[in-house]
Structure 1
Amino acid sequence: MFDVVIIGAGPAGLSAANICREYQLKVVVVDEFIKPGGRLLGQLHQEPDGTWWNGIEEAKKLSSRAEQLGVDIRCGVSVHDINNQDGIWSIHTNQETFRAANLLLATGAAETPVPIPGWTLPGVMSIGAAQVMANVHRVRVGKKGVVVGINVLSAAITRELQLAGIDIACMALPAVNHITKDAGHPEKVMESLLRISHLAPSAFIRMGSKLVKSSWMQGLALKFLPKKGIKMWDMPIHLKKCVTQINGKNQVESVTICDVRPDGTIIEESAQQMEVDFVCIAGGLYPLVELAAIAGCPFQFIPELGGHVPVHNEKMETMLDGLYVAGNITGIESAKVAITQGNVAGFSIVNRAFPNNKETTEHLREAILNVHTTRNNASIQFHPGITDGRERLEKVYQEIS
C-alpha cells in the first residue's frame, strides 16, 4: 500500500514525486519506458537569451533528486486498468497491482497521426520518433529526409535533427484533407509560425515577422513568398508546397511534392519528385487521456489545450476524490510548465495528507503562481489562447463541482 501512485516518470511525474517524498509520503512512480525522464530525454533547443535547454540534463536533475529522496521508480511497467473502491485506487499493471489513496496521472501527450499515401513504407516515422532515435538512442534515422508538417513541434525537432548531423532537405505542408485541415492551409500555418518567429536565427526574418501581423499582410506576404521557400538554418521551409505521396518499393526512395494555392488546393501540373530516404510526419500533439477515461474522469473538449482534457482545477485536482493530473495530459505546453504543474500536484497531495498545514498551504499557493509565471514567460506556445483555454476549463470545474 502506497500513499501515492504516479503514472508517468516525465517532468510532471518526477516533480510531484519529489515533493511528496520531501514530506515522507510513500511514493511509487511507474512508466512504460525503459528509463525515467519522459519527453525530456529527447529535448534540446536554444532559448531566446542564447542559453540551451538540455532535456537529458534536466531529466538527470529530477531523477537524481528522486533517488536521493528514495522515490520508488519502476520503469518498463504498463498500466492497463484503474479502479477505485472505498477510497482506495487500484492500479493494475503488467507486473502487479498497486494501491494508494492518491493517484496522479502524468501520462503526457501523443502525436496526432497524419496519413499520407505510402506512409507504411520503412523509413517513414513521426517527428517525435525521430527525436527519440536521434537524441536518446543516438541512432541516425537516415541520410537525407523531409519533414511533412510545419508547426511549433516540428520546427523545434527539425533543428535538433540538424544539430545531430542529419540532413533535412526541407519542411513542407501535408496535402489538405479532412484530417489535416488547418495543417495544410498555408495562411493558417503562416499565422501559427509567427508565434515562434522570435526564435528564428535570422534577424531579417525576426524583423519581417513583426511587420506581418494582420491577415491582409499575411496573405500578401504569402503571395510573394519565394518558391524556394524561406530558409532557416540553411533549410527551406515551404509554405507553398505540399507532400502528396511517399514513394518507394521496399523503403522510402522519394516524395512527390506539389505547389499549392493560398487556400491549400494543389496545382496538379506542378508535381515533382524529391529523392529522400526517410520522411518525418508532424501532426502535432494531443493529451494522452485514456487512463483518465478508464478511471471515470469527466472530460471537456478545449482546442486551445490540444483536445479532450480531464476536468480539473488549478490545484490539479480532478472531479474524483484522490485523483490528480499534471503535465500534458492537462493540455499541451512546455516541459517547464509540466514541471511547475507537477509541483502543484505534489503539494495538493501533501495538503490532502496533512490538512490545515499552513506551511504546505502556502507552498501550494506559491506553486500555483509559479505555473502562471512560467506559462506567461514561455518562449514557445503550442496552441494560441492557452490562457483562455485554462480559464474556461476552470469555470467548467466550478460549475460541475
Structure 2
Amino acid sequence: MYDVVIIGAGPAGLSAAIACREWDLHVIVIDEFPKPGGRLLGQLHQEPSGEWWNGIEETKNLLDKAKEYNTEIQCGTSVHNVEKTSNGFSVHTNKGMFYGENLLIASGAAETAAPIPGWTLPGVMSIGAAQVMTNVHRVRVGKKGIVAGVNVLSAAIARELQIAGVELHSMALPAANSVTKNESDPKKVMDGLVRIAHLAPSPFLRFGSKFAKAAWVRDIAVKFYPKGGVKMWGMPIHIRKAIVSINGTEQVESVTICNVTPDGEPVPGSEKTVEVDFVCIAGGLYPLAELASVIGCPFQYIEELGGHIPVHNEQMETPVNGMFVAGNITGIESAKVARAQGKLAGLSIVKHRIKDLADINDKVHEALNEVKETREKASIQFHPGINEGREKVNKAFNDYQQTT
C-alpha cells in the first residue's frame, strides 16, 4: 500500500512525486510510455525573452530531483481501470495491481482528430506525433509537408520541425465538416492566431493582437487577410485557404487546397494541387480524463479549459476523497503550468495525508500563488479566458460540495 499512486510521469506527475517525497511519503509514479517526461520530451522552442525551452533538459532536471529522493518510477505500465476502495484506490495495470491510500491522476491531454478525405494514407499524422518522432526519436517525418490546422499547438510544433530541418510548405485550415467546424472557420481561427503573434511578430498580427477582442476588427482582418498568407519563420500561414483532400495511392503524394470565403465556404474553381509527402493534422488538444470518469469523479464541460474537466478545487483536490488531479487533465495549458500544478497537488496530498503538519498550509498557499504567477507569465495560451475557466471549475467544486 503506497501513500500515493501517481498516474502520469509528465511534468505534473514528476513534480507532485518530488513534493510528496520531500515529506517522506511512500510514492510510485506509473506511465505507459517507455520513458518518463511525457510531452516534455518533445518540446523545444524559443521563448519571447530569447531563452530556449528544452523539454529534454527540463525532464532531466525533474528526474535528477526525483532520484535524489529515491522516487519509484515505473514506465511501460498501462492503466486500464481504477477502483475506489474503503481504504484508498486499486489501480489495475498490465503489470498487476497497485494500491494507494491517495491517487493523483496526471494523465495529460490527447489530440483531437480533424478528418480530411485521404487522411488514412501513410504519411498523414497528428502534429504531436510529428513532434515526438522528430524531437524524441530523431526520425525525419518526410521531405516536404503541410500542416492542416492553424492554432497555438501547430504553430509551436511547426517551428520545431523547421529547426530540425524539415521543410514545410505552409499551414492552412482543414476542410470544413461537422467535426472541423471550429477549426475551419477563419474568424474563429483568427481569434487564436492573434494570440501567438508574439512568437513570430508580423505587422499584420501585431495590429490584430491589439484589438483581438473587437469582433469588427477581427472580421476586417479576415476579409483582407493576405492572399499569400502571413509568414511566420518564412512559412505562410493561411486562414483563407483550406486543405480539402489528401491525395496518393500508397502514400501521401499531394494535397488539394482551395480558397475559402471569410465564412469558411469553399470558392468554386480555386482548387490547386500542392506536392508534399506528409501531412500533419492539428485539431487541438483535449483533457485525457477517462480514468477520472471511471472512478466516478463528477465532470464539468468548460470550453475555456478545452473540454470536459474533472471537478476540482484550487488545491487540485476532487470531490472523491483522496483523489487529486494536475496538469492538462485539469485544462489545456503549458508544461510550466502543469509542473507548478504538480507541486501544488503534491503538497495538497501531504496536507491530506499528514494531519496537523506544521507550516503545510503556508506551503500550499505559496504553491497556489506559484501556479497563478506561472499562468500569468505563460508565453503560450491555448485557450482564451483561461482564468474565467478556472473560476468556473472552482465554483463547480463548491456547488458540488454543498449539494452532497
TM-score, normalised relative to structure 2: 0.97
TM-fit CA distance, 1:210: 4.4
Once residues 358 and 368 of structure 2 are traced to their aligned partners in structure 1, the CA distance between those partners, rounded to angstroms, is: 16
TM-fit CA distance, 1:125: 0.1
Aligned residue in 2 for 1:342: 342
Q: After the TM superposition, which residues 123-202 of structure 1 pair with which residues of structure 2 at under 5 Å, given as runs?
A: 123-202=123-202
- Structure 2 SS opposite 1:90: strand
Aligned residue in 2 for 1:82: 82
Once residues 204 and 217 of structure 2 are traced to their aligned partners in structure 1, the CA distance between those partners, rounded to angstroms, is: 15
Which amino acid in the other structure matches residue 72 of structure 1? E
Which amino acid in the other structure matches residue 50 of structure 2? G
| 8 Å contact kept, 2:194–2:205 | no
Which amino acid in the other structure matches residue 139 of structure 1? V
Q: Structure 1 residues 191 and 82 mapped into 2: Cα distance closer, same or farther (>3 Å)? A: same
TM-fit CA distance, 1:211: 5.2
| 8 Å contact kept, 2:208–2:221 | no
Structure 2 regions of 5+ residues with no counterpart?
none
Once residues 301 and 191 of structure 1 are traced to their aligned partners in structure 2, the CA distance between those partners, rounded to angstroms, is: 21
Which amino acid in the other structure matches residue 153 of structure 1? L
- Structure 1 SS opposite 2:4: strand
Q: What does the per-residue CA deviation read over 1:167-226, in whole Å, with 9 as the maximum and x for residues that have no partner?
A: 000000012221111211112111211112112144x34543345543222222222222
Which amino acid in the other structure matches residue 186 of structure 1? P
Q: What does the per-residue CA deviation read over 1:67-120, in whole Å, with 9 as the maximum and x for residues that have no partner?
A: 111111000000011112212211010011000101000000000011111000
| 8 Å contact kept, 1:200–1:206 | no
Which amino acid in the other structure matches residue 307 of structure 2? G
Aligned residue in 2 for 1:209: 208
Higher mean displacement: 175-184 or 208-217: 208-217
Aligned residue in 1 for 2:108: 108
| 8 Å contact kept, 1:79–1:94 | yes
| 8 Å contact kept, 2:208–2:217 | no
- Structure 1 SS opposite 2:118: coil
- Structure 2 SS opposite 1:182: coil
TM-fit CA distance, 1:358: 2.7
- Structure 2 SS opposite 1:390: helix
| 8 Å contact kept, 1:78–1:94 | yes
- Structure 2 SS opposite 1:183: coil
Once residues 219 and 206 of structure 1 are traced to their aligned partners in structure 2, the CA distance between those partners, rounded to angstroms, is: 13
Q: What does the per-residue CA deviation read over 1:119-163, in whole Å, with 9 as the maximum and x for residues that have no partner?
A: 000000000000000000000000000000000000000000000
Once residues 209 and 46 of structure 1 are traced to their aligned partners in structure 2, the CA distance between those partners, rounded to angstroms, is: 22
Aligned residue in 2 for 1:23: 23
Aligned residue in 2 for 1:53: 53
| 8 Å contact kept, 1:174–1:244 | yes
Equivalenced residue count is: 400
Between the two proteins, what is the percent identity of the paired residues? 61
Q: Provide the aligned C-alpha RMSD in A.
A: 1.1
Once residues 87 and 390 of structure 1 are traced to their aligned partners in structure 2, the CA distance between those partners, rounded to angstroms, is: 30
Once residues 178 and 207 of structure 1 are traced to their aligned partners in structure 2, the CA distance between those partners, rounded to angstroms, is: 32
